[in-house]
Amino acid sequence: MIDFRYHLVSLMAVLVALTMGVVLGAGPLQGKISDTLSGRVEALSKQQAELRQVNEDLVKQANSASEYIGVLGRKVTPGQLTGKKVAVVRMPGVSDEAFNGINEQLKIAAGTIVNSVTIKDSWFSEELLSYRDTLASTLAGKLADKVDAKVSSQQVLATALGMGLTSADKEIQALVSNLSAGDTPLISKETLTDPAQMILVLSPISSEKDTKAGGSQIDLDFVKGIDGALPKGTVIVGSAKNETDYLTKIRAEKLEVTTVDGIGSVMSNTSIPFALLADESGNNQAYGNEHYASQLIPPFPDAEKEESK
pLDDT digits (tens, 9 = 90+) for 171-225: 999 999 999 998 899 999 988 899 999 999 999 887 444 433 333 467 899 999 9
Q: What confidence score (pLDDT) does residue 308 get?
A: 44
Q: Are residues 26 and 148 in the same domain?
A: no
Give kind and range of the element (H or E) at residue 258.
strand 258-260
Number of domains into which the chain is organized: 2
pLDDT digits (tens, 9 = 90+) for 40-87: 777 777 777 777 766 665 555 555 556 667 676 778 899 999 999 999
**d(C-alpha 268, C-alpha 272), whole Å:** 6
Neighbours of 291 (CB within 10 A): 18
Q: Are residues 220 and 266 in the same domain?
A: yes
CATH assignment of the domain containing 100 = 3.40.50
Q: Are residues 98 and 13 in the same domain?
A: no
Neighbours of 283 (CB within 10 A): 15
Give domain status of residue 64, yes or no: no
**d(C-alpha 264, C-alpha 79), whole Å:** 21
Give domain status of residue 176, yes or no: yes
Residue 227 confidence (pLDDT) above 90:
yes
Give domain status of residue 46, yes or no: yes
Q: What confidence score (pLDDT) does residue 214 get?
A: 38
Give domain status of residue 266, yes or no: yes
Q: Are residues 155 and 52 in the same domain?
A: no
Q: Are residues 53 and 84 in the same domain?
A: no
Range of 163's domain? 80-308
